[in-house]
Structure 1
Amino acid sequence: MTSTETAAQPANSQATPAPSLQVYRVYIKVTPQKVWDAITSSEWTTKYGYGGLVDYSSGQGEYKIRPDEGMVEGAKQMGFPLPDVVVDGEILEYDPPRKLALTWRMAMDPDCAAEGFTKLTYEIDAIGDGSRLTLTHELENAPKHAAMVVGADAAEAVGQGGGGWPWVLSDLKSLLETGETFSPRG
């Protein structure tokens, strides 16, 4: 049912740094357009993963992901401040519903923000009556980003603390196929 591939190793050891190239693949039983909409529309992005209000509608220039109500409430419960912009970058390639490439920076974490921008690419292919979503995150010279997005132990991920891309993609797949997320938000 779920097929997720990754070049990344689990982040359960501080001795082994997270890889600078992380590739994740998941197969979802919906059309490429539905996957595209779920990635690029705040109507969807607020329902899975860490949430957030996205706007890629222009298909060019800078973009910012702002925290949604669930993210703000979660940050309050965990006792940490949340800035007005949690992720930012620039749209590099916008080809609906096949490819979205971006520079990407976790602006909400000061250490990650100081590392600068990484490159994130979503590629969506039609496979039978579903889709294959490949997420490639290039994290050269960004070890803090790499450690954050590779994900942490499953126990932490369930509470939304450190699940990284594996957790976000599992949540996305569950939502699109069942109407419910893998783990509840907020």
Structure 2
Amino acid sequence: MSEPQTTQVYRVWIKTTPEKIWTAITDPEWTVKYGYAAPSFYELRPGGAFRAAANEGMHAYAKENGFTIPDTIGDGEVIEVDPPRLLKQTWRMLMDPTTAAEPFTTLTYEIEELKSQPGVCRLTITHELTGAPATATMVAGSPLDEAGGGGWAWMLSDLKSLLETGAAMSDVG
């Protein structure tokens, strides 16, 4: 298996507004509706804190499988913020001791409304992962995993489904 790339870029086109994407990324009432359903809290200013909290399902899964996870599963600091177009932050995953021991990485969200396609936005996530190989592997996801190991590709797909249909992928069916 090859080493994960130190800079990973993920992109999705969503039929919605930049403001709705921004809210879905930065508002804990929205972050619990897609992906891994972990509420994320931001102080939306340079130097502001970022924190992602474990949800009850994560704690229950850990307990059933004989391990614990911290209440705060991710943390970082806001570097740059320009609502609803740009959010740049440091980012570290604390759920696993290996990723928690790695340095902070840099995560950038860019939201662009397409001039050629009104009502459609391109959301790009760029994750700079230098010095963090375990985190790089985790966020790259596994093409063989149907959900939990999907990384950023899973998160973006689920966010797109939620914003376009009103239901996350796990809710459809």
> What TM-score comes out, normalization by structure 1 length?
0.84
Q: Once the 2 structures are TM-superposed, how far is the Cα of residue 79 of structure 1 from its aligned partner?
A: 4.3
Q: Once the 2 structures are TM-superposed, how far is the Cα of residue 165 of structure 1 from its aligned partner?
A: 0.4
1:84 aligns with 2:84: no
Aligned amino acid, residue 141 of structure 1: G
Q: Which runs of 4+ in 1 moved over 3 A?
A: 73-80
| Residues in 2 aligned to 1:56 and 1:83: alpha-carbon distance in whole angstroms | 18
Instruction: Give yes or no for contact 1:157–1:167 (8 Å, CA) kept in 2.
Output: no
1:134 aligns with 2:131: no
Residue in structure 1 matching 2:15, options 29, 46, 53: 29
Bigger mean CA offset, 115-124 vs 66-75:
66-75
Aligned amino acid, residue 40 of structure 2: V
| Residues in 1 aligned to 2:67 and 2:154: alpha-carbon distance in whole angstroms | 21
| Residues in 2 aligned to 1:30 and 1:63: alpha-carbon distance in whole angstroms | 25
| Residues in 2 aligned to 1:101 and 1:146: alpha-carbon distance in whole angstroms | 17
Correspondence 1:101-180 to 2 at 5 A:
101-127=88-114, 128-154=118-144, 156-158=145-147, 160=148, 162-180=149-167
Q: Please list every run of 5 or more consecutive structure 1 residues that lacks an aligned counterpart in the other structure.
A: 1-14
| Residues in 2 aligned to 1:35 and 1:77: alpha-carbon distance in whole angstroms | 34
- What residue is the counterpart of 1:44 in the other structure? 30
- What residue is the counterpart of 1:5 in the other structure? none
> What TM-score comes out, normalization by structure 2 length?
0.90
Q: What is the aligned length?
A: 168
| Residues in 2 aligned to 1:58 and 1:71: alpha-carbon distance in whole angstroms | 26
Q: Please list every run of 5 or more consecutive structure 2 residues that lacks an aligned counterpart in the other structure.
A: none
- What residue is the counterpart of 1:9 in the other structure? none
Q: Once the 2 structures are TM-superposed, how far is the Cα of residue 153 of structure 1 from its aligned partner?
A: 2.7
Q: Once the 2 structures are TM-superposed, how far is the Cα of residue 62 of structure 1 from its aligned partner?
A: 2.1
What's the Cα RMSD here? Answer: 1.7
Percent of aligned pairs sharing the same letter? 53
Aligned amino acid, residue 33 of structure 2: K
Q: Once the 2 structures are TM-superposed, how far is the Cα of residue 72 of structure 1 from its aligned partner?
A: 2.8
Correspondence 1:2-21 to 2 at 5 A:
15-21=1-7
